[in-house]
Amino acid sequence: MELFLIFTIVGSPLIAFLMIALLPHRLKRIAPLLSISFIFLSFLSSLLFFLKHPQIQETPFEVQWTWLQANRNLSFNVGFLMDRLNLLMLFVVSLVSFFVQVFSVAYMADEGRGQSRYFAFLSLFSFAMINLVASNNLLQTFIFWELVGLASYLLIGFWYQKPSATEASRKAFVVTRLGDLGFYLAVALLTLHLGNLNFSALNSPEAIQSLSGGMITLVTLLIFTGVMGKSAQFPLHIWLPDAMEGPTPVSALIHSATMVAAGVFLTARNYALFSASSISMETILIFGTLTAFVGATLATIQNDIKKILAYSTISQLGMMMMALGAGSFEAGMFHLTTHAFFKSLLFLASGALIHHFHTNDIWEMAQKGSRSQVLTLLVIAVGGLSLAGIFPFAGFWSKDLILEALEHKPVFHAAALLVSFFTSYYVFRLLFILYFRSETPHAHEEHHESSLLTFCMNFPLISLAVGSLIVGFMGTDLMHHKLLKFISPEAEGKLSIELMMTGTGIAVLGLAVAYWNYLKRKIQPPITATGFRRVLEKKYFMDDLFEKVFGRMVLAFSAFLNWFDKQMVNGKMVNGTAWSTLRLGALLTKVQSGELQDYLMIVFVIASAVIYFLVK
Amino acid sequence: MSESLIAYLLLSGTLAAIGVYGFLERRNLIGILISIELILNAASINFLAFNKFVSPDKGLGQAIVLLIIGLAAAEATLALSIILVLYRGMTSINIEEANHLKG
Amino acid sequence: MTLQNLIFIILSVTTLAAAVMAVSFKKVIYNAFSLMLCLGGIAGIFFLLSSEFLAVMEIIVYVGAIAIAIIFAIMFSPPHFMHQPERNWPKTVRSIAISAFFFATLYKVLTTTPWGMSTTQEADFSIQHLGKILLGIYTLPFEVISIILFIAILGALLMARKREAHE
C-alpha cells in the first residue's frame, strides 16, 4: 500500500506527461485537464501517505532497489525516502504545481496549439521535481536535478520564436550547468570514498567520521556550487532575472517556489554532512548574505514587475541560505515553505496583471489604471506584506525565525536587517505605484472573459493567499508550532518580543521611505542614475563581469576548441578514422573475393597452422 | 613396409595433400569433385590402417569405411546435380565465375 | 624385400601417380579415368590391409558407380561445358605451397604421435563379423546413412529436374 502510494506520488505527473505527449491532435484540448488532475492525484497521495503515517517524523519510510552492483563496496540504488523533510516539500511542490496549473489554464488560454506542449512540460517538471524530492540517494537526486534543469530550460524558452527567450533559456541552462559540474564532482568523490550514496548513509555519524575533515569541506563546497547554480546564489544568480522571459506561471512555479528551492532542500537534506564542516557553513552564510543583499538592493530599482519579483526571489533564497548557514535548519525550511506560497502568489497575481494590461512595466500598469484590479491588488498586498515581514503575515514569522537564528552573529544579523529594510522598501514601492499612483481606469475598456477562465485565474490567487496566511500561523505559538515541529521535532520556534519589534520596525522604516519617495516626493520615471543607483542599474557589474571575463575566456577557449574540433577531431580523428576504416575495408574486400577456393585456402592455412603449432 | 602403420599413414597423407592441391587449384567443378573423392579415400585408407594395426575390434574400421563409401556416393550424386543446376544458371562450371558473393 | 612389400610399393606408386594425374590433367575426362585407376590402386591397398570385402566394395561403388557417374556427366554435357581455361600459375604455386604445408602438418602429427599398437592376435576380419556389428551395435549409423542416401537421391532428382511450368 505504501509502495502504491509512493508510486502514485512520483509517477502520476509522468503519466500525465506521456499521455499529453501522445495525445492525438483532436484531443489536445484536454491536456490541461489531464495535467491538473494527475498533479492533484499526486498531492492527494502524499496527503494520504501522511495521514497513514502520522509518526513519519520519528520513523522515516524508505524503499530501495539495487540498480547496479559493482562490487561489495559499491552499489547504486534507486529508491524513495519519505520523511518529514521531503513530505513537506512534496506538499509544497504538488500544491503549488496544482495552483499554478489551474492558473495557467486562464493565462495560456490564447496559446492554442502551444497549450498542450506547455502542460506537457509542466507535468515533466512536476515529475522531475517530485522525484528529486523523493529520492533516497544523491545520484538519483542528481539525475532528477538535471531533469528539472531541462524542464526549466524548455519552459523558459517556451516562446521559442522570441530570440530573447531562447537566449535566456540558454543562459539559465549554461549557468546552472556550471554549478552542476561541482555537484557532479561531489557525487563522484562521495562514490569513491563511501560507495554508498544513500542520504541516510551519507549523513550517518560513521560516514562523517570515515571522511577526513578536508574531504567533507571539499565535498560540501562542491555540492554547494551546484546549489549556487540552481538556487541562484551570488555570483551564479544572473540567470534568474533573465529566466523571467518564460510564461509568468512558470516563473511562479519553477523560478520562485520549487526548483530554485531545490538547492535549499538539498542543503537541508545533507545537513549533517554540511554541519560537519564549519568552513562550509561559514561559506554558505557569507554567500547567502551576499545574495540576499544583492537581490534586495537590485529589486528596489526595477520597473519590470517580474524583475522585481525575480530579484526578490534571489534575495529570499539568500535569506534561506543564511538561516541554513547559521545552523538553523528549521528556519530555512520554514522560510522556504512560506516563501513558496507567498512568492508564487505574487507571481501569479503579477501574471494576472500582465495578462490584463499586456505590459510588464509597473508604471505603464499604473497609467492604464491598475487600481481597477481590486482582487489582484488585494492578493498582491497579502503576498507583499508577507514578503516584507509585516505582522501577522507568513513572512513575518519565518523571517523573524531567521533573524533569531542570526542573533549571535552581529554582522550577519545587521545585514539581514538591512535586507529586510530593502525588502520592505521595494514591496511598498510596488504597492504604492500600483495603487496610489494609478490613473483612474477607463471603465468601458473592460473585456469580459468567460466565467471559467475568470475562476481559473481567481481561484489559485485566493487559495494561495489564504494558504500563505495559514502556513505562517502553523509555525507560531498559536498553532503550537505545528509546521516547525513537523520540520524538526527539536525546534523551539520561540520568538523574543524585542526581535519581533526590531523586525517590524525595520519593515515600517522601509514603508516610510517608500512612502516618502513615491507618495510625498512623487518620484517619476525615469530617474537619473547617480552613485549607488548606477551600480545597481549595472546589476553590480556582474553581467558585465561575466560577459567580459568569462565571456572572453569562453570565446577564446571555444575558438581554440573550434580549431581543435575542425583540425584535430574532425580532420585527423573523425575523418582519419573514416578514411582508415574505408582503406581497411577496401583491403578486406579483397579478401572477400567471393571465390570459394580463396576461402578454402584460408581455412586450410589456418587449420594446418593451428595443428602444426599445437602438436608438440 | 607393408606391415608398418606409418607407411600407410604417409601414403594416405600424400593422397590427401594431392587432393587438397586439386581442391584449391582446379577451376572445373568436376575436377574439384574428383579431388574430394581423393581426400575421402585417403581417410578410408587411414581408417583401415588403424583398423588393422591399432583397433582391437577389426570390424569397426571396416564398418566406418563402408559408411564413408555410402556418404561419398550420396555426396557425388548431390554434387553432380548441383553442378548441373549451376551450369544451367551460369552456362559455365568454372568455379571462379561463381563469385557473386564478392565483397 | 618380401612380395608383400613389393606389392605395397607398386600399389602406392600407382595410386599416387594416378592421383597426381587426376588433379593435374587439363582435360576433365582424363582426370576421371585417372581417378578410376587411382581407386583401383586404393582397392589393392585395402586388400593389403586385410579388408577384402571393402576392396571389392571400393571397386563396385567407387569405380563402378561414382567414377562412372562422373564420366557420364562429362560425356553427356555439351563440349564447352568442359572448357578448361589456361593454367593460373600464381594460383597453382599457392595451392602447391598450401598443400605442402598441409602435408607437413600431417607428417608432423603422424611421426610425433605414439600409436598404441594392438596386441590382439586372433584378428577377425571376416565379413560375418562386419555384418554382425553393422546390424548390431552400429545399427543407428547404418540406418542414418541409408536415410542420407535416400534424401540425397531425392534432392539430386529435385534439383536436376528441369523446371517447366513456372518459366
* Range name among A515-519, C78-82, C140-144 with the lowest pLDDT average: C78-82
Q: How far apart are CA A536 and CA A287, in angstroms?
A: 18
State the sign of the Cα–Cα–Cα–Cα dihedral A35, A305, A160, A171: negative
Q: How far apart are CA A256 and CA A346, in angstroms?
A: 10
Mean pLDDT of A425-454: 71
Q: Supply A250's cell numbers.
A: 512558470
Percent of chain A with pLDDT over 70: 88
Q: For residue A429, what is the enclosing H or E element?
A: helix A410-435
Q: Cell 487600481 belongs to which residue?
A: A371
B101, part of any domain: no
- What's the pLDDT at C13? 93
Which of C103, B20, C99, C108 is closest to A614 using CA atoms?
A: C108
Q: How far apart are CA C35 and CA C15, in angstroms?
A: 9
- What's the pLDDT at C43? 93
In the DSSP assignment, the letter for residue B56 is S
Distances (CA, A) of A2 to A6, A65, A81, C142: 6, 15, 11, 68
B75, part of any domain: yes
Q: For residue A270, what is the enclosing H or E element?
A: none
- What's the pLDDT at C167? 44
Residue A335 has pLDDT above 50, yes or no: yes
Residue A343 has pLDDT above 60, yes or no: yes
Contacts of B101 in chain A (CB under 8 A): 592, 594
Contacts of A593 in chain C (CB under 8 A): none
Highest-pLDDT range among A116-120, A277-281, B72-76: B72-76
Distances (CA, A) of A304 to A309, A311, A341, A523, A527: 9, 11, 21, 16, 14
* Type of residue found at C108: K
ipTM: 0.89
Q: Supply C86's cell numbers.
A: 589456361
| Helix, strand, coil percentages in chain C from 3-state DSSP, rounded to 5 | 75, 0, 25
A361, β-bridge pairs: A304
* Type of residue found at A529: A
Residue A527 has pLDDT above 60, yes or no: no
- A604 with B24: Cβ contact below 8 A: yes
Mean pLDDT of A437-443: 66
Query: CATH no. for residue B73?
Result: 1.10.287.3510
Residue A129 Cα to chain centre, angstroms: 9
Cα-atom radius of gyration of chain A, to the nearest Å? 28
What class is the C1-100 domain?
A: mainly alpha
- A608 with C94: Cβ contact below 8 A: no
Residue A507 has pLDDT above 80, yes or no: no
- Compute, in degrees rounded to 10, the torsion defined by CA atoms A595, A596, A597, A599: 90
Query: Is the distance from CB of A68 to CB of A2 less than 8 angstroms?
Result: no
Cite the DSSP H helix spans in A516-575: 532-537, 542-545, 552-563
Residue B85 has pLDDT above 60, yes or no: yes
The 10s digit of each residue's pLDDT in A380-435 is 888 888 888 777 777 777 787 788 778 788 888 888 888 888 888 888 888 887 77
A78, β-bridge pairs: A65
Q: How far apart are CA C139 and CA C159, in angstroms?
A: 30
Say if C2 is an interface residue toward chain B (CB within 8 Å): yes
* Range name among A137-141, A253-257, A475-479, A587-591 with the lowest pLDDT average: A475-479
Which of A67, A94, A197, A195 is closest to A136 using CA atoms?
A: A197
B102, part of any domain: no
pTM (predicted TM-score): 0.61
Mean pLDDT of A106-111: 78
Contacts of C117 in chain B (CB under 8 A): 5, 53-54
HEC sequence for A82-107: ECHHHHHHHHHHHHHHHHHHHHHHHH
Distance from CA of A594 to the nearest CA of B (A): 4
B51, part of any domain: yes
Say if C95 is an interface residue toward chain A (CB within 8 Å): yes
Q: For residue A80, what is the enclosing H or E element?
A: strand A74-82
In the DSSP assignment, the letter for residue A571 is I
Residue C16 has pLDDT above 70, yes or no: yes
Q: Phi/psi at A61 (nearest 5 deg)? A: -105, 125
Residue A267 has pLDDT above 70, yes or no: yes
Q: Phi/psi at C21 (nearest 5 deg)? A: -65, -40
Q: Phi/psi at A76 (nearest 5 deg)? A: -110, 135
- A615 with C98: Cβ contact below 8 A: no
Which of A351, A392, A389, A356 is closest to A372 using CA atoms?
A: A356
- B80 with C110: Cβ contact below 8 A: no
* Range name among A420-429, A448-457, C13-22, C34-43 with the lowest pLDDT average: A448-457
Residue A44 has pLDDT above 50, yes or no: yes
Distances (CA, A) of A596 to A609, B20, B32: 20, 13, 11
Which residues have CB under 8 Å from A403's CB, separation 6+? A413, A416, A417, A420, A499, A502, A503
Query: Is the distance from CB of A152 to CB of A172 less than 8 angstroms?
Result: yes
Mutation target to probe the C interface, by most C beta carbons within 10 A, among B3, B5, B20 is B20
Distance from CA of C6 to the nearest CA of A (A): 33
Q: Supply A343's cell numbers.
A: 512568492
Residue B11's domain comprises 5-95
What is the DSSP pairing of strand A61-71 with strand A74-82? antiparallel
Contacts of C101 in chain A (CB under 8 A): 604-605, 608-609, 612
Distances (CA, A) of C83 to B31, B85, B91: 12, 17, 11
* Type of residue found at A87: L
- What's the pLDDT at A595? 77
Say if B98 is an interface residue toward chain A (CB within 8 Å): yes
Which of A431, A234, A440 is closest to A346 using CA atoms?
A: A431
Query: Is the distance from CB of A104 to CB of A347 less than 8 angstroms?
Result: no
Query: Is the distance from CB of A341 to CB of A334 less than 8 angstroms?
Result: no
B residues 4-23 near A, CB within 8 Å?
Answer: 20, 23
Residue A526 has pLDDT above 70, yes or no: no
The 10s digit of each residue's pLDDT in B51-75 is 888 888 888 889 999 999 999 989 9
Determine how many CB atoms are found less than 10 A away from the CB of residue A51: 8
Contacts of B86 in chain C (CB under 8 A): none
Q: Supply C70's cell numbers.
A: 562422373
Residue A447 has pLDDT above 70, yes or no: no
- Compute, in degrees rounded to 10, the torsion defined by CA atoms A32, A34, A35, A41: 140
Mutation target to probe the A interface, by most A beta carbons within 10 A, among C23, C88, C105 is C105
Contacts of A593 in chain B (CB under 8 A): 99, 102-103
Mean pLDDT of C36-61: 91
Mean pLDDT of A96-104: 86
Contacts of B20 in chain A (CB under 8 A): 604
Q: How far apart are CA C126 and CA C136, in angstroms?
A: 15
- What's the pLDDT at A112? 73
Query: Is the distance from CB of A296 to CB of A270 less than 8 angstroms?
Result: no
Q: How confident is the model at residue A310 (pLDDT cuts 50, 70, 90)?
A: confident
Q: Supply A198's cell numbers.
A: 544513500
The 10s digit of each residue's pLDDT in A281-306 is 888 888 888 888 888 888 877 778 88
Q: How confident is the model at residue A535 (pLDDT cuts 50, 70, 90)?
A: low
Which residues have CB under 8 Å from A365's CB, separation 6+? A305, A353, A357, A359, A434, A438
- C109 with A611: Cβ contact below 8 A: yes
Q: Supply A360's cell numbers.
A: 510588464
- B20 with A592: Cβ contact below 8 A: no
The 10s digit of each residue's pLDDT in B19-47 is 999 999 888 888 899 999 999 999 999 99
* Type of residue found at C54: L
Cβ-based burial of A494 (10 A; exposed 0-12, middle 13-18, buried ≥19): exposed
Which residues have CB under 8 Å from A600's CB, separation 6+? B23, B24
- A600 with B98: Cβ contact below 8 A: no
- Compute, in degrees rounded to 10, the torsion defined by CA atoms A530, A534, A537, A539: -160
Contacts of C85 in chain B (CB under 8 A): 27, 94
- B95 with A597: Cβ contact below 8 A: yes
Q: How far apart are CA A270 and CA A183, in angstroms?
A: 13
A74, β-bridge pairs: A71
Tell me the three state secondary structure of residue A49.
helix
- What's the pLDDT at C164? 61
Query: Is the distance from CB of A188 to CB of A50 less than 8 angstroms?
Result: no
| DSSP states along A168-228 | HHHHHHHHHHHHHHHHHHHHHHHHHHTS--BHHHHTSHHHHHHS-HHHHHHHHHHHHHHHH
* Type of residue found at C125: F
Q: Supply A348's cell numbers.
A: 501569479
Domain borders along chain C are 1-100, 126-167
- What's the pLDDT at C41? 93
Provide the mean pLDDT of chain A.
Answer: 79
Residue A121 Cα to chain centre, angstroms: 15
In the DSSP assignment, the letter for residue C77 is S
- What's the pLDDT at C14? 93
The nearest alpha carbon in chain B to C162 belongs to B85
- B60 with C133: Cβ contact below 8 A: yes
Mean pLDDT of A23-29: 77
